[in-house]
Amino acid sequence: MKSLKIFIIISLILLFIGISGILFIYFWAQKDLPNFKKITDYNPPLVTTVYTKNGHVLGYFYKEKRFLVSLKEISPWVIKSFLAAEDSHFYEHEGVDIVGIIRAAIKNIEAGTIVQGGSTITQQIIKSLLLSPERSYKRKLKEIILAYRLEKYLNKNEILTIYLNQIYLGHGAYGIEAAARTYFGKHAKDLNLAEAAMLAGLPKAPSKYNPYNHFELAKKRQRYVLKRLKELKWISKKQYDEALNYHLILKSSGDPSWQQGAYYLEEVRRWLINKFGEEKVYKGGLIVQTCADLEHLNAAKNALRKGLIASTKRRGFRGPLKHLSPTEYSNFLSKQIIQPELLIPQSGEWLKVLVIKVKPKGAWVKFGQEQGFIPVESMAWARTPDISKAPEDVPRIKDATKVLKAGDIVYASIQEKKDNLWILSLEQEPEVEGAIFSLDPRTGEVLALVGGYDFFKSQFNRVTQAKRQPGSAFKPIVYSVAIDKGFTPASIILDAPIVYEDKTTNSTWKPENFEGIFFGPTLLRTALVKSRNLVTIRIASKIGIKNIIKRAKLLGIEENFPSDLSICLGSVPVTPWELCRAYTAFARLGTYIEPYLVKEVKNSWGDILYQVTPQIKEALSPDTAYIITYLLQQVVKYGTGWRAKVLKRPVAGKTGTTNNEQDAWFIGFTPYLLTGVYVGFDQVKPMGKYETGSRAASPIWVNYRLAVEPNYPIQDFPKPDNIVMLKIDGQTGKLASPISKEVYLLPFKKGTEPKEISNIPDEFNSNQNKENILKNIF
């Protein structure tokens, strides 16, 4: 009896130890289980995708290339192939396949080491997410317990979804969607049986079976997967044969990142990091909807590049890229990989070419195995650089020997092919830089942003980072204050010399008009249209610098303004973003809107994390905004913005040029699209004689707008009810009479319009005739 009691006590102790051990192991294992109580708790590192407003992919940000997809977004062949290859009893077991484990244990005992794991898909998820790849019985035990636990939280489809999104499939592709794009250039839902079987063969050894590097090994693995599918009777013999003999074409869908709209994409990346943090941007799988429009982006990029190249040519030829001796010719040509079938006449594609012979009529060149000729006519611009002279001040080049010599390496663009000779044009990459920024002023959506000539040479974004003096492009802000302070478009202001003495620096300031002459009494309308500096300074002096600074800040220009009259001529540097934002108040007839790049951000499960709320602020009265906009339309019709007339629709705009032609601007707008262009050197210096806003910047604006304008109907700026239109005598500022020689139709706020008629001859002095004249004026 005593021995029986001892036996029972020992048995209870052993049972207690056993149960305690099991409980200890269970709690030890389960404490590391991720919080997978629902499928949305699964948050692996995912690709952040940035879309244009029309649904095109602008680019990706990621540490691991993985796209989250649901089972319904995956081809049924993929599901069958992976189950056949990895876990054919997946829908039958509870996270662990006991038969599979016994089979693996026997093989491990026979081998004397661990050679097979017998892991289910559920166990593979645990190993991938929680455990190290170490092969040990301790880790395997923990894996089994966690697998059972996981299956209590998630259903089979949810576990399979995680697996197909988590697994690494080689070549930088994580998950089935990334693999489908990487190996076959399609989405996971579009994979056929042959393609699915090849991808299902990758998990065992992604590098070893990578079809790009080891296609035969990949085919061997594909054959195994198809064989398993046939053995399981999940496919027929016919399907097996067809898939095995299917001609696989490896093709990556490519990464569009930085290929189109690189400056825009980079600005979005900075915004996202500032908003969500780097970890979220590179691993969070954000879905980012931007305002970018590829048509606008490409048109803006092409217009800017064309304009900057034209600008550099106006300064002359800086010389060859380098010069080779005859012994170096063959080495240079042998390193060039030229595919003649890819050279397209009239494409404008640039090539580096070697000059082998030069005569006055042109230069003969070689590139790869091809031969070409650069006629002297295409070198007409290639004068010796001299910024004190404009191109029209010097003779055009008529002798190619004055430009090139044998051994020179230069850029040339393809024009046409005659017989076996390529006809080329001499080219030169610009050192001058620029920016173009375009938004819809109605909504604030930024449609195009190009921050320089070549993103890969300079990531400095001149739209958002380059602060430059705007010159006369700042004047509309000054004149808007003047209108509010009692001036009208018909006000007469004296255009005459001014000298200001600064007693603190013991210096004098003698501002001048661009033309270097004075025009006497001038209509305010004409002062803005013709950009008269001296009139602007006199107006600024009367209305007060503090009021101008206050208006600029109200329009979103948060710079440090000195209490200095020079600010009215645009001496305070601003970014193109800032200046265009200020101009939205004119385009919107009173309110300015904050431009924005990103409309919406969602997480990988489609939950909205951010949605833009347009920031709109009152800045001007509608009447004042309309008057300034109307006068800026006159700048286009009769002033320095004349190139924009080619659009043949209502356009308002203003050029800007700083001292010594260091910076050139053109801000132009319609009710539906506002675009700003800036041109200048990064290290500020003169661009050359006549390199003004009109010559250097406005052609870029025009080329861009001509490309996108057909997308918009013709639209004029709506006139507020409080505005009256009157014909004004340009010399007196009074109501025009029948003998007025210079007449303008101008807008006025009701109650501010002139009452007196200009220069009425005696025969028109009767009351009846005055009434008829007034009818004509109105």
Catalytic residues: 86, 472
Question: Please, is 47 exposed, middle or buried when counting C-beta atoms within 10 Å of its C-beta (0-12, 13-18, 19+)?
Answer: buried
Cβ count near 492 (within 10 Å): 17
Distances (CA, A) of 702 to 315, 681, 695: 21, 21, 11
Q: Of 522, 516, 518, which is closest to residue 497 (Cα–Cα)?
A: 518
For residues 414 and 343, the answer to whether their CB atoms sit within 8 Å is yes
Nearest-angstrom CA–CA distance, 313 and 691: 12
For residues 176 and 202, the answer to whether their CB atoms sit within 8 Å is no
For residues 424 and 378, the answer to whether their CB atoms sit within 8 Å is yes
Give the containing element (helix H, strand E) for 322: strand 322-323
> 3-state class of 141 per DSSP?
helix
The tokens for 434 are 């620029």
Nearest-angstrom CA–CA distance, 219 and 217: 5
The tokens for 321 are 């890229």
The DSSP letter of residue 46 is B
Question: Tokens 């790869």 label which residue?
Answer: 368
Of the CA atoms within 13 Å of residue 76, those in its CB half-sphere come to 2
Nearest-angstrom CA–CA distance, 484 and 468: 28
Nearest-angstrom CA–CA distance, 295 and 730: 43
For residues 651 and 702, the answer to whether their CB atoms sit within 8 Å is no
Nearest-angstrom CA–CA distance, 176 and 191: 10
| Pairing relationship of beta strands 421-427 and 370-375 according to DSSP bridges | parallel
Alpha helices of 606-674 — where are they, by DSSP H?
Answer: 622-638
Amino acid at 560: N
The DSSP letter of residue 694 is I
> 3-state class of 352 per DSSP?
strand
| Residues in a beta bridge with 126 | none
> 3-state class of 539 per DSSP?
helix
Beta strands in 134-268 (DSSP E): 173-174
String of DSSP letters for 426-475: EE---S-EEEEEEE-TTT-BEEEEE-SS-TTT----TTTT--B--GGGGH
> 3-state class of 407 per DSSP?
coil
The tokens for 244 are 């095995």
